[in-house]
C-alpha cells in the first residue's frame, strides 16, 4: 500500500508536494470517488486512480542525465514554439520532465525524470544537493569579489550565496570562475555577478552532487546507473 501522494509522485504525475495540492483541490479520484484526504492509501495492483479524469498507473522510473545546449528551455512545452529539452530525448519518453532549471542561455548538466520523489529530493533546499558551475565573465574578477559571494550578497530582495568560489584564470578581458551552490535560486550565478556590475558571457553547469557532465556532448544524454541514483539520494 502507498500513500496517495506518494503513488502520484512515483507515477510521474508531479512531485509529492504538487500531488498534495492536486488531492486537496479535488482533482484525484480513487475507484471513481473524489479523495481529498492526504493520508489515503492505495494498492497500485487493485485500486484505480485518476487525475482530472485520466487514469494514472505506475511507470518504469527513468533518470536521465542530459547536456542541455544553449537556446533550449527547461520546460515540458512552450506556447511560443521555442526549443525545449524534451525534444532531445526519444519520443517515447515524452512524460519525462526536467529536475530544476537552467535558463535558456545557460548550458550543461540537467536531469530528466518521471520520478517525483527523485525530483523533490534534488530540488528541495533542505537536502542541500550542491551544483557546480563554470562561468565565463567579461573583465577581470578579483579574489576579494569572490569572497563576497561566499559571505552572501543581497540582490533584488534575495540573499544569494555560493558555498565555494575560485578563479580558474583571469585577465583584463575575460575571467573563468568556478562556483558551487547549494540552493540554486533563479538565475543565481548570473545575479551574483550582476551585483558586481559584471556580465556572464557563458554559463555551464558541470556537476550535480557527485555526477559530473564529463564527456557528455551538447544535446546528448545517458541514463543514470543505480549506484549513481543512490549516490544522489542517500536517504532513500
Instruction: Give the Cα separation of 9 and 125 in Å (integer).
Output: 18
* Exposure letters 102-119 (e unless 16+ CB within 10 A, then b): beeebbbbbbbbbbbbbb
Instruction: Give the Cα separation of 30 and 51 in Å (integer).
Output: 9
Instruction: Give the Cα separation of 15 and 117 in Å (integer).
Output: 6
Q: Which of 47, 103, 115, 169 is catalytic?
A: 103
> Is residue 43 annotated as part of the catalytic site, yes or no?
no
Answer whether 103's CB lies under 8 Å from 73's CB. Answer: no
Phi, psi of 33 (to 5 degrees): -115, 135
Q: Please name the residues in contact with 173: beta carbons below 8 A apart, sequence gap of 6 or more.
A: 138, 139
Please give the distance of CA 167 from its chain centroid, rounded to a whole number: 26
Q: Please name the residues in contact with 155: beta carbons below 8 A apart, sequence gap of 6 or more.
A: 191, 192, 194, 195
Q: Give which of 83, 103, 110, 130 is closest to 200, Cα–Cα.
A: 103
Catalogue the active-site residues. 103
Amino acid at each position: 500500500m502507498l500513500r496517495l501522494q506518494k503513488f502520484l509522485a512515483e507515477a510521474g504525475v508531479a512531485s509529492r508536494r504538487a500531488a498534495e495540492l492536486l488531492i486537496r483541490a479535488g482533482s484525484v479520484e480513487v475507484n471513481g470517488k473524489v479523495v481529498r484526504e492526504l493520508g489515503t492509501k492505495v494498492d497500485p495492483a487493485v485500486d484505480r486512480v485518476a487525475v482530472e479524469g485520466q487514469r494514472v498507473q505506475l511507470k518504469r522510473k527513468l533518470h536521465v542525465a542530459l547536456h542541455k545546449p544553449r537556446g533550449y528551455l527547461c520546460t515540458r512545452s512552450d506556447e511560443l514554439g521555442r526549443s525545449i529539452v524534451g525534444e532531445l530525448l526519444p519520443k517515447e519518453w515524452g512524460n519525462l520532465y526536467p529536475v530544476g532549471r537552467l535558463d535558456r542561455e545557460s548550458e550543461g548538466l540537467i536531469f530528466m525524470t518521471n520520478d517525483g520523489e527523485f525530483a523533490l529530493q534534488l530540488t528541495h533546499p533542505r537536502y542541500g544537493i550542491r551544483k557546480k558551475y563554470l562561468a565565463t565573465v567579461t573583465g577581470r574578477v578579483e579574489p576579494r569579489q569572490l569572497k563576497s559571494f561566499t559571505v552572501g550578497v543581497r540582490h533584488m530582495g534575495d540573499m544569494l550565496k555560493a558555498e565555494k568560489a575560485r578563479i580558474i584564470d583571469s585577465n583584463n578581458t575575460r575571467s573563468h570562475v568556478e562556483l558551487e551552490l547549494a540552493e540554486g535560486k533563479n538565475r543565481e550565478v548570473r545575479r551574483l555577478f550582476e551585483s558586481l556590475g559584471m556580465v556572464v558571457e557563458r554559463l555551464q553547469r558541470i556537476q550535480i552532487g557527485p555526477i559530473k557532465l564529463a564527456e557528455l556532448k551538447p544535446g546528448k544524454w545517458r541514463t543514470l546507473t543505480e549506484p549513481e541514483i543512490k549516490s544522489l539520494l542517500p536517504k532513500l
